[in-house]
Structure 1
Amino acid sequence: MVLYIIDHPYHYEAENLCRVFYPFDKVTVQHEFMPSDENRTVYTAEENGEYIVRIEDADGKTERKAKVGAETEYGMVSLLFDAFCAHTGKMPRWGMLTGIHPIKLLRQLTEQHGEAEAARLFREKYFVSNEKTALAVRTLRAQKPITDKVRENDYSLYISVPFCPTRCAYCSFVSQSVEKAKKQIPEYHRLLLEELKETAKVADALGLNLRAVYVGGGTPTTFSAEQLSEMIRVVKDSFDMSQCEELTVEAGRPDTIDRAKLDALLKSGVSRISINPQTLQDNVLENIGRRHTAQQTVDAFHLAREAGFTNINMDLIVGLPGDTYETFCDTIEKVIALDPENVTVHALALKRSSFITQSGEINKAHADAALADRMMAYAEKRLTERGLEPYYLYRQSRMAGNLENTGWAKPGTECAYNIFTMDETETVLACGAGGVTKLKNPYSEDLSRIFNFKYSYEYISRYPEILERKEGIAKQYEQFRKRLH
């Protein structure tokens, strides 16, 4: 597909809409019109006070025009959305919303207009379906008691452990398999602890208040019990934990969990862990490159309960290769029987760097939007019946059925970090490879980012540069405070 962006700045929005309607097309952007041999072209332009949109492919040509109005971005994007709907005969469940954070948008609209009007705008201005609008409203209500308590100097800490036993076929994260990166782990662990200490000094100097700690990856439990204990000890010794309300560690893969690690985490004060099956169907696990069985996940969950964990999350994915509606429903029922406090349901997002995408194995569940929608609807129905509420939600490009990722929780067990990072409510200081520090201006919606190097080998070899970048945190906060005065 060729996307022409002629004399208007809405490149990001137009490209994302192309992916909503044609998730498997490679999009080539051109800023000058030149005839193309591509079998699909999308022309968007501002000419003489008008927006012009034209879609051409084997199915024919669809054209729309409209005068440029006061809401310039909305005018172009809504015109393109209307043309895509007419051309394809499809009406996406999330309407013309393409951003990662729909609940953040709903929160902003609610603050301006109230809940009822914000919901109406979701339905009538952004064309979000009644079902997804209702889901968004439920999510915002569940997270509001937590976001309402955020103060201007609050922050969360993210710690990245970018190693996994194997790389899943759908994965596009920067995690590396332990087989390939085993020799890097001791040095990575040592430098990570150094970075944590330096980050704590910066936070302390700025007078920031730590609210939540989240250790993710990758699979943090690729670290040994001793390495996990030492990492959390350094966090507790270095940071002021007096206002920290939660400490989450993704145990993730059941083939990395044993009693020694669980005991080490619990003794260290970890309050929440994730044990992530993605599916409880052995054939599907094999399809996605996991080297464990469904029974190992169940055993790991029971082991965590026996160790004393009372807040456990389990991740599931809609649209995995080889999964059917019946087998997905079976997985949901088996997870419900375990009775975890949190269940996160993801729609499979196929990224360019994943094995599934690169090998051309676009699976039926991903291509079949109706099937993915039925799976997600079943999960929503059954989790609601079990008393769980949606409390955070985000979206990605190329998602199965153009759906969403939703975290569900029993009331009172919500993971505040997930809310803060997805709603972009407060600063997140990140340590480790692939970590992205997000500095939230406490006086506006502005957000600045500082990136760590993506890969563990890069993190190790260029570590002094990581510390140099930490200096940018204090400089950015100085700018925030200057703008206030």
Structure 2
Amino acid sequence: MNTLIVLQIGISSFFELDNLYQVFVTRNKMLFVDDETEFSQKLSLFDYGLKVINRDSVIEVCLLSDKVLDERTLFVFDMNVKEIKVEVKRTVYQMLSRFFKPLSKWGILVGIRPVKLVHEMLDDDLSLDLIRDVLSDKYFIHPEKVALMTEIALRERPHLVPNDISAISLYLCIPFCPTRCLYCSFPSNDLKQKGKRLPEYLEKLAAETIHAVNHIYRLGKKVDCIYIGGGTPTSIDESQLDALLGMIKSHVNLADVKEYTVEAGRPDTITRKKLEIMKKNGVNRICINPQTMNEQTLVTIGRAHDAKSIVDVMKMAKEIGFKTINMDLIIGLPGETVHHTSDTLDKIIELAPENITIHTLAVKRASRLHEDLDYYELTHDQMVEEMMDDAELKLRKHGLTPYYMYRQKKMVGHLENVGYAISGHESLYNMRIMEEKHSIVACGAGAVSKICAPEENRFERVANFKGLEDYLDRFDEILLKKEILE
């Protein structure tokens, strides 16, 4: 595989070039330097060299090996920041495409919210034909992904536009898990190690939630969507769950709430009593997340349940009366083939959930998988793409079609995560958080509030402290952060 040395001067992370290079070359085949002398000295050790230098609104881009292969100068005096970013990425992409085969069908898009771009163009009244042309010709996106983006945007549109600025989504985070999965990089807290602080955490979470909800109502707004995530929210016991949901029921006008989700998550943490507690407190959507139905893979990734328990919990949830259930699956898990994922899909489809979310494995730096990468056999890119194609065909055949989508860094095959739903069962919260057209007030450690004020052309993120200790010990600062919503 070709190797690449990159010299960047005056180029900030905003340009996302580091991620764009990896569309062509894996990071272990690249070296980044910021000194022209060092670049010249080491160039002969690499197949190619790329220079991207920003000199006061004149950006020089040069690709070379033993000679200059391509060289361009961009004059960006009259461009805004977003236009400059796109033009630089287009130039780099075009140059590298001459000598490297792109590993992704997403063109120059490397961010996590591709569909947001379609919404922006729809907001500007561009026709669908023109939008498709822009995505293909300007962003170099493959027609297959263009079709996916536009399909999802059109399905989301009635739920997002016009934006009711009086309606707020409420998110609560339970950052605890009974064990840590192989691929997980989230700052969840192992109950065995930090469970002693769980009662204190739930007390503070309730106080923050009440403070936030009261502030929402003081401003004349309403809560119309609730999502409890984690971590694993059902890792707390039945009495704790009853107290938490009872607190919400006491302080939120549930008559306004269109969607109320609890990410129940792992079947080994779900009991009939917990499901009944959710139901009586107004929860109308839950997530049961098997990830795979392959027994060996469940052991490999550190899940403390088997496939039968997934079936049992799903049947229990249906008996109790939940009308919308999501199930998460991951493609590309270590050791799995197309046969494994196809078998998993067949078994999950038989359980008839209203939502199925297909995640592509992302090898995050903070995960155990990344730490022990040499030990595991990862699925190669082409096979993962076959898995995704097979999943789409099966799900569409059974009436589940794409309704939201996002991407992550380090995804196997440079693919995406896609949520599928039966018509009428789309998750409002998922669409809102992805397209950033709606205010979300988030409570708990690591939670990020997102304030959308279209009349001011303002979108602002306000993050709580990630660490459990910081959240608990600096709680007064957390309460002040909730005053941002005006």
TM-score by length of 2: 0.91
Match 1:247 to one of 245, 248, 260: 260
CA distance change for structure 1 residues 64 and 454 in 2, over 3 Å: closer, same or farther? same
Q: Name the structure 1 match of 2:206.
A: 193
Which stretch shifts more, 398-407 or 240-249?
Answer: 240-249
Give secondary structure in 2 for the equivalent of 1:20: coil
Which stretch shifts more, 22-31 or 417-426?
Answer: 22-31
- Does 1:14 pair with 2:21? no
Asked if the contact 1:62/1:86 (under 8 Å) is kept, the reply is: no
Deviation at 1:102, TM superposition (A): 0.7
Deviation at 1:67, TM superposition (A): 3.6
Q: Name the structure 1 match of 2:53.
A: 45
Q: Name the structure 2 match of 1:308.
A: 321
CA distance change for structure 1 residues 209 and 442 in 2, over 3 Å: closer, same or farther? farther
Give secondary structure in 1 for the equivalent of 2:28: coil
Match 2:178 to one of 138, 161, 165: 165
Inter-partner Cα distance in structure 1 for 2:375 and 2:405: 25
Asked if the contact 2:103/2:414 (under 8 Å) is kept, the reply is: no
Inter-partner Cα distance in structure 2 for 1:461 and 1:49: 48
Deviation at 1:271, TM superposition (A): 0.3
Q: Name the structure 2 match of 1:155.
A: 168
CA distance change for structure 1 residues 2 and 170 in 2, over 3 Å: closer, same or farther? farther
- Does 1:210 pair with 2:218? no
Q: Name the structure 1 match of 2:405.
A: 393
Q: Name the structure 2 match of 1:145.
A: 158
Which amino acid is 2:52 matched to?
A: T
CA distance change for structure 1 residues 205 and 130 in 2, over 3 Å: closer, same or farther? same
Inter-partner Cα distance in structure 2 for 1:85 and 1:297: 45
Match 1:317 to one of 319, 330, 336: 330
CA distance change for structure 1 residues 470 and 132 in 2, over 3 Å: closer, same or farther? same
Match 1:65 to one of 72, 81, 87: 72
Inter-partner Cα distance in structure 2 for 1:139 and 1:44: 35
Deviations 1:319-377 (A, max 9, x none): 111111111111111111111000000111111101111223485545x2211111111
- Does 1:356 pair with 2:369? yes
Which amino acid is 1:87 matched to?
A: F
Q: Name the structure 2 match of 1:433.
A: 445
Asked if the contact 2:6/2:31 (under 8 Å) is kept, the reply is: yes
Deviations 1:69-91 (A, max 9, x none): 55432221111112232332225
Which stretch shifts more, 348-357 or 438-447?
Answer: 438-447
Deviations 1:223-277 (A, max 9, x none): 1122112212212222333322010000100110111101111111100000001
Deviation at 1:153, TM superposition (A): 2.7
Which amino acid is 1:449 matched to?
A: R
Gaps of 5+ in 1: 478-485
Inter-partner Cα distance in structure 2 for 1:346 and 1:78: 28
Deviations 1:461-484 (A, max 9, x none): 22222113223x14xx3xxxxxxx
TM-score by length of 1: 0.91
Deviations 1:101-141 (A, max 9, x none): 11110111123212221112111211111111111111112
CA distance change for structure 1 residues 375 and 61 in 2, over 3 Å: closer, same or farther? farther
Q: Name the structure 2 match of 1:481.
A: none
Asked if the contact 2:155/2:403 (under 8 Å) is kept, the reply is: yes
Inter-partner Cα distance in structure 1 for 2:398 and 2:381: 26
Give secondary structure in 1 for the equivalent of 2:23: helix
Question: How many residues get paired?
Answer: 471
**Identical residues among aligned pairs (%):** 35
Asked if the contact 2:232/2:263 (under 8 Å) is kept, the reply is: yes
Inter-partner Cα distance in structure 2 for 1:270 and 1:33: 59
Asked if the contact 1:68/1:75 (under 8 Å) is kept, the reply is: no
- Does 1:107 pair with 2:114? no
Kindly report which structure 2 residues correspond to 1:92-103, keeping only aligned pairs within 5 A, or say none: 92-103=104-115
Deviation at 1:442, TM superposition (A): 2.5
Which stretch shifts more, 411-420 or 242-251?
Answer: 242-251
Which stretch shifts more, 1-10 or 295-304?
Answer: 1-10
Inter-partner Cα distance in structure 1 for 2:256 and 2:68: 59
Inter-partner Cα distance in structure 1 for 2:223 and 2:466: 25
CA distance change for structure 1 residues 319 and 52 in 2, over 3 Å: closer, same or farther? same
Which amino acid is 2:158 matched to?
A: P
Asked if the contact 1:440/1:447 (under 8 Å) is kept, the reply is: yes
Give secondary structure in 2 for the equivalent of 1:88: coil
Give secondary structure in 1 for the equivalent of 2:98: helix
- Does 1:299 pair with 2:306? no
Q: Name the structure 2 match of 1:374.
A: 386
Inter-partner Cα distance in structure 2 for 1:55 and 1:212: 53
- Does 1:457 pair with 2:469? yes
Which stretch shifts more, 369-378 or 450-459?
Answer: 450-459
Which stretch shifts more, 33-42 or 92-101?
Answer: 33-42
Match 1:82 to one of 78, 85, 94: 94
Asked if the contact 2:62/2:68 (under 8 Å) is kept, the reply is: no
Which amino acid is 1:68 matched to?
A: F
Inter-partner Cα distance in structure 2 for 1:86 and 1:362: 35
Inter-partner Cα distance in structure 2 for 1:276 and 1:232: 21
Give secondary structure in 1 for the equivalent of 2:327: strand
Deviations 1:399-435 (A, max 9, x none): 1111111111000001100000000011110001110
Give secondary structure in 2 for the equivalent of 1:438: strand
Inter-partner Cα distance in structure 2 for 1:222 and 1:325: 32
Deviation at 1:61, TM superposition (A): 8.1
Give the aligned CA root-mean-square deviation in angstroms. Answer: 2.3
Asked if the contact 2:441/2:450 (under 8 Å) is kept, the reply is: yes
Which amino acid is 2:418 matched to?
A: T
Inter-partner Cα distance in structure 2 for 1:151 and 1:301: 34
Deviation at 1:7, TM superposition (A): 3.4
Inter-partner Cα distance in structure 2 for 1:303 and 1:114: 46
Inter-partner Cα distance in structure 2 for 1:133 and 1:317: 23
Q: Name the structure 1 match of 2:293.
A: 280
Deviation at 1:25, TM superposition (A): 3.4
Asked if the contact 1:99/1:395 (under 8 Å) is kept, the reply is: yes
